[in-house]
Structure 1
Amino acid sequence: MTDMRDLDIRSPRDGRSIGHLPTATEEEVAGAVLTARQVQPGWAATPAAERGAALRQGAGVLRTHADELAKVLEQETGRPVESAREGVLAGVSTLEQYAELGPVHRGRSLLGSWDATDFMVPEPRGVVVALTPWNDPVAVACGLLGAALVTGNAVVHKPSERCPHTGLLMGTLMAEAFPDGVLQTLTGDGAVGARLAADHHVDVVAHVGGTATGRSILAATARTGAKALLENGGNDALVVDADVDPGWAAAQAALGAFTNAGQLCTSVERIFVHEAIADEFLHALVGEARNWVAQPLVDVEHRGLVHAHVAEAVADGAEVLIGGEVPDGPGAYYPATVLTRCTPSMRVMRQETFGPVAPVRVVGSFEEGLAEAVVDEHGLAATVLTGSMAHAQQAWRTLPVGTVKVNAVFGGAPGGAAQPRRMSGTGFGYGPELLDEMTSMKVVHLGQFQPRRKVSTGS
């Protein structure tokens, strides 16, 4: 018999129950944080090379179990197993990068007077709470956990309640590589995350997820003094210039809007296309949408939110060119959807839909599209497709986001960092800069020693 507080996870493909996991109690939350506080000094005192070796061992364990993790992730979120496995291996690669970068993370010396030396030493912040999402849970968690662990922090990890089996399996496998208590995983709903964020013994709350939760975490850390490290999604724009091939641009738009059923933090959420190529672009985008096999969203509740964005846009004058209807049958499926005649006031243009929806607005010039793309409370990423170097320069200098992509909706060098702005969050995610976020710098001033003078006692 299951407890009423248990998480009941159901398949987004057919609605069947996958299993139950307990929700951590207040006592268990407090106990996990206290354990982390107790073991962290010993972990911080472990030589950096040994911490890196432990992280490398944890990465190896996840690589060995990549197929198992991918299957569990598919069951919980509906993400195709091939794509899920790619996400797991991306996380493994991130852990391996931090296993190399962590031991060489260093401070710097400061020029002072001749008889003194100043230097800055990075120290672990202490106890890190990592609250991770359901859409790419292993890859995201590996970034936060890897950077925190390799720099000497102890971690309490709570995966999303939409994929707790995946998060618990990952945490259990990784924990084998570390001393007891250095990495703990708790399962539970948003209330568990809120308790962790509000605990006065926590030093960092790292969260990847929704904006509303991010705001509540900021309020909690303002009271406790913990550092908030947030990536709260975005409303990423795609601006399509007049000089690009409409078919290629449509393929890029479809890739950005429909990959993982639009459930990526950097999915294309709103499209501004130059009127000179708009008709050809829309025709090609509809053709692309037909080629994307419908995938389930994470659950029926989320599908309802996605469809509400579409239905409201249609009621306000938008036109559905393809998709836009909730299919019959079990599961949380939703088709690739293309909307045109969209206006800036529509919720589908103002907020993150997080589904396979491509809302298109036709604009009279590249400058007009860029100006409208700028008007948004988020600041995660944006893409421009253009053959003009001047327009590319104008775009990356103008768009108030952490990442600007030119002529490719996805991609980037390994180890690249991102720093969201405004409602999309605060602090660096990934890259060497995340090691800086997980440490604090201590300035040490060494003055010249003055020996005690000997006092003469006479003859």
Structure 2
Amino acid sequence: MEELEFHNIINDTPRSSPTTHTVTDPRTESPLWPCPIASPADFEDAVASAQIAFKTWKLTPLSERQALLTKLATNLEDHLPLLSQILARESGKSLLLSELDVRTSIAQCLHYAQPANALSDHIQYEDETVKIIATHVPLGVVAAICPWNFPLILSSIKVVSSLVTGNCVIVKPSPFTPYAVMKWIELARGILPPGVLQVLNGGADLGQILTLHPGIAKVSFTGTIAVGKAVMAACAKTLKKVTLELAGNNACIVCADADLPKAVKNVASGAFFNAGQVCVATKRVYVHESVYEEFVRRLVEEVKGNYTMVEDASVPSVFGPVSNKVQFETVKRIVEDCKGKGYEIVAGGEVRESGNAEGKKGFWLEPTIVKGPPDDSVLVKEEQFGPILPVMSWSDEDDVINRSNLANAGLGASVYSSDLAQAERIARRLEAGGVWINKSERPHMGAYFSGFKDSGFGGEMGKQGLLSYSYTQSIHFAK
């Protein structure tokens, strides 16, 4: 791939920096491109530009904002090959998954470009004395602090939610995957008024000043629980609005009457899609004891047959390396803990043995299945966010629900059963923001996505997600 240049975008103008950092390709450990780090002056200029732009952008009719979202979608489509290649290099995804990242971002733009999917005025209450209308007023400048596992998807949902509600937005991509997001916003220059959509690259120090600056009205953050708590504490100093989408150690319950061939395929996809680096990935599986051994056997066959390590990103694959060395070491420690404790590893369990021409191996871990680890093991208690899956058995419904409902996490869950009444009964008792029945966990942009307990504060997507990007004003008409 040709040499590329990247810039922070401030007031629709590319801006370089004497300070840069370089990301490593997770497949090969080869260095990619220098990426400019925004300075404090860049940050102040971006906030000032957004505040100026907001004065007129907030007055732009909804229909015009939605028309511009359609143009953003077209722009993404026009640059899909370039953005996909950049994503593949920085994240370790195959081109297949990288194109999905871009296409889902396109779909998000088009979804909120539809009048039915945006917020509109409505009558809250009416009687013979009064009519009360609810209208939705934009907050101001939104800071979107984004993760590395789906760089475009999880940035664009914050961007389109901000724009359709009349806010300006400053995007801070993850320093592990800054390139595609920065290039997207660079390529989108000229579509929106200057200052409405900007991007700044930086690390934790930039994230901190975004949360503290009085010129930022809202922070939308996706990341770890520990950082999310720090973001919330910082936002409290200026009473910012805040949305947090945090970690989820998601449980899956397979009932005795589940369609095993379908359940196995879905569980494998839920657990090992993008090497398990999905916030709502299947991370703990509880299988009824009557079908436990058969389920494990089928799952091992499915994973060994369809989830393999392929270095060439052009080969269609939903499995790839761990996206960065920090997370690679985290997952590797969990694998070593399982080995050290003598847990039964029935698939995988090894790092990549062969290297590339430079002798570097990349951040590759085999898809790993651990049979029957105890509930108090690190693998079961902590979110692994990588390609390792514990599979436990159960016999009593109340017991498995209690085991599934962790004290600190509740983002997603799934249930497999041929008895839909039973599946729904279990689903309603699971303490998770989203539950999927007879399918793997995949958020839908038309549905509110949020976490219970430490898995989040507020939420994104659906009309309800847009409410957190707005004030709701009640206008009372006397009759």
TM over 0.5: yes
Give 1:138's aligned residue: 152
Segment drifting more, 139-148 vs 307-316: 307-316
**Matched-pair contact (CA < 8 Å) for 2:117–2:462:** no
Distance 1:5 1:87 in 2: 29
C-alpha distance 101-172 of structure 1, shift in aligned 2 (>3 A): farther
Describe the SS at the equivalent of 1:152: coil
1:429 aligned partner: 460
The alpha carbon displacement at 1:215 in A equals 1.1
- Offset of 1:414 from its aligned partner? 5.4
- Partner of residue 77, structure 1: 91
Contact 2:24 2:90 in 1 (8 A): yes
Partner of 1:248: 262
Question: Where do 1:398-413 residues align within 5 Å?
Answer: 398-411=429-442
Q: Is residue 298 from structure 1 mapped to residue 298 from structure 2 by the alignment?
A: no
The alpha carbon displacement at 1:302 in A equals: 1.3
Q: What runs of 5+ residues in structure 1 fail to find an aligned partner? A: 449-459
Which residue in the other structure is 1:327 paired with?
352
Q: Indicate the structure (1 or 2) with the bigger Cα radius of gyration.
A: 1
Would the aligned equivalents of 1:121 and 1:441 in 2 still touch at CA under 8 Å? yes
**Alignment of structure 1 residues 179-194 onto 2, 5 Å:** 179-194=193-208
Q: Deviations over 1:59-107 (max 9, x none)?
A: 1100111111110000001100111101211110111111123895213
Question: Any idea what SS the aligned residue of 1:9 has?
Answer: strand
Partner of 2:378: 347
How far apart, in 2, do the equivalents of 1:85 and 1:111 lie? 46
Residues of 2 paired with 1:21 and 1:104: CA distance? Answer: 35
8 Å CA contact 1:320–1:339 kept in 2: the answer is: yes
TM-score using structure 1 length: 0.92
Separation in 1 of the partners of 2:258 and 2:114?
Answer: 41
Q: Structure 2 matches for 1:264-303, cutoff 5 A? A: 264-291=278-305, 292-294=307-309, 295-303=320-328
Looking at structure 1, the residues matched to 399 and 419 of structure 2 have their Cα atoms a distance apart, in angstroms, of 16
Q: What's 1:119 paired with? A: 133
**Distance change (3 Å), C-alpha of 1:305 and 1:152:** same
Report if the CA contact (8 A) 1:129-1:205 is conserved. yes
Letter matched to residue 250 of structure 1: V
Give a deviation string over 1:224-260, Cα, whole Å, max 9, x none.
1111111113111111111224443322221111111
In the other structure, the counterpart of 1:444 is: 475
Q: Contact 2:26 / 2:92 at 8 angstroms: preserved in 1?
A: yes
1:373 and 1:127 mapped to 2: Cα distance? 39
| Paired position in structure 1 for 2:4 | none
Q: Structure 1 residues 129, 301: closer, same or farther in 2, change over 3 A? A: same
- Which shifted more, 65-74 or 27-36? 27-36
- Distance change (3 Å), C-alpha of 1:244 and 1:111: closer
The CA deviation string for residues 99-118 of structure 1, in whole angstroms up to 9 with x for no partner, is 12389521333546756553
Sort the Cα spacing of 1:243 and 1:263 in 2 relative to 1 into closer, same or farther, 3 A.
same
Distance 2:264 2:18 in 1: 47
Distance of 1:155 and 1:287 partners within structure 2:
46
Please list, as runs of the form range in 1=range in 2, the aligned pairs for 1:110-259 lying within 5 A after superposition. Answer: 110-111=124-125, 117-259=131-273
Q: Tell me the residue number matched to 1:98.
A: 112
Question: Secondary structure of 2:449's partner?
Answer: coil
Residue in structure 2 matching 1:417, options 433, 436, 448 = 448
SS in 2 for 1:118: strand
**Equivalent position amino acid for 2:430 in 1:** L
**Structure-1 separation of matches of 2:89 and 2:106:** 21
Distance 1:187 1:48, change over 3 A: same
Residue 381 (1) aligns with residue 412 (2) = yes
- Structure-1 separation of matches of 2:18 and 2:54: 34
Separation in structure 1 between the aligned mates of residue 33 and residue 386 of structure 2, nearest angstrom:
25
Q: Please provide the CA RMSD for this pair.
A: 2.0
Q: Does structure 1 residue 31 correspond to structure 2 residue 45?
A: yes
Contact 1:103–1:150, Cα closer than 8 Å, also in 2: no
Pairs within 5 Å for 1:56-75: 56-75=70-89
Flag the 1:103–1:54 CA change in 2: closer, same or farther, 3 A: farther
Q: What fraction of aligned residue pairs are identical, expressed as a percent?
A: 28
For residues 260-294 of structure 1, give each alpha carbon's deviation from its aligned partner in whole angstroms, at most 9, with x where no partner exists: 11111111111111111111111111112212112
